[in-house]
Amino acid sequence: MTTSPLPVFRRAPAILPTAIAALLVVGVSIYWLAGSIAQEKYRNVLIAAVLVQVGWVVMRWRMSVYAFMVFVIVEGFLVNYFYQIPELNLLKDAFIISLFGVLALQLVAHSVFPFPRTIWSLPFFAFSAVYLLQVFNPSLPNVLVGLVGVRVNLLFFLLMPVAFWFFDSRERVLRFFQFLFWVSLPVSFFGIVQYLAGPSLMTSLSPGFSRAVYYAYGLRPTQEAIYFRTFSTFVHTGGFGMYLSFMMLVSVALWMIPSLRRFRVWILGGFIVQFIALLTTGSRGAFVWFLLALGMLFVLQRGRSRLVPLMLILPLILWGSMFVVGPGFVERFGSILDLDMVQGRNIPLMYGWLTESMKTDWAGLGAGYASVASRHAGVTPLNLIVVENGLAKIRFEAGLPGFFLYVIFILSLMLDCLHAPARTQDNEVRWIVGASAAFMFVCISSVTLGTPFDASPTNTYLWFFAGLLARAGYLAKQPISQQVIAPSPAPAMSLHGN
pLDDT in tens, 221-232: 566 667 788 999
Give the pLDDT confidence score for residue 323 in this predicted structure. Answer: 63
Give the pLDDT mean for 250-267: 91
Give the pLDDT confidence score for residue 344 in this predicted structure. Answer: 58
Give the pLDDT confidence score for residue 478 in this predicted structure. Answer: 45
Nearest CA to 103 among 72, 61, 139, 67? 61
What residues does 228 pair with on adjacent strands? 215
Residue 57 CA: distances (Å) to CA of 27, 63, 470:
19, 8, 23
**Bond into 86 cis (ω within 30):** no
The predicted-structure confidence for 109-136, as pLDDT tens digits, reads as follows 888 889 998 999 999 999 999 999 999 9
Give the pLDDT confidence score for residue 26 in this predicted structure. Answer: 47
Angle value at C-alpha 140, between 134 and 142, nearest 5 degrees? 105
Q: With 80 as the cut, is the pLDDT of residue 68 above it? A: yes
| Rounded-to-integer distance, Cα 65 and Cα 379, Å | 35
- Compute φ and ψ for 207, nearest 5 degrees: -65, -20
- Compute φ and ψ for 242, nearest 5 degrees: -65, -35
| Rounded-to-integer distance, Cα 477 and Cα 171, Å | 8
Who has greater pLDDT, 178 or 53?
Answer: 178
Q: Please tell me the number of Cα atoms within 13 Å of 497 on its side-chain side.
A: 20
Give the pLDDT confidence score for residue 455 in this predicted structure. Answer: 83
Mean pLDDT (the chain, rounded)? 79
Give the pLDDT confidence score for residue 8 in this predicted structure. Answer: 38
The predicted-structure confidence for 422-465, as pLDDT tens digits, reads as follows 899 888 999 999 999 999 999 999 888 778 888 889 999 999 99
Q: With 60 as the cut, is the pLDDT of residue 485 above it? A: no
The predicted-structure confidence for 327-342, as pLDDT tens digits, reads as follows 666 666 666 655 565 5
pLDDT band for 319, please (50, 70, 90 cuts): low
Give the pLDDT confidence score for residue 2 in this predicted structure. Answer: 40
pTM: 0.82
Q: Average the pLDDT over each of 260-269, 299-308, 349-358 and give the range with the smallest value.
A: 299-308
One-letter amino acid of 170: R
Q: Average the pLDDT over each of 181-190, 293-302, 421-430, 474-483 and give the range with the smallest value.
A: 474-483
Number of Cβ within a 10 Å radius of residue 166: 23
Give the pLDDT confidence score for residue 372 in this predicted structure. Answer: 85
Is residue 401 within 8 Å of 130, Cβ to Cβ? yes
| Rounded-to-integer distance, Cα 246 and Cα 242, Å | 6
Residues in the chain: 498
Q: With 60 as the cut, is the pLDDT of residue 496 above it? A: no
pLDDT band for 7, please (50, 70, 90 cuts): very low
Nearest CA to 61 among 107, 111, 5? 107
Q: With 60 as the cut, is the pLDDT of residue 368 above it? A: yes
One-letter amino acid of 396: F
Nearest CA to 266 among 253, 277, 255? 255
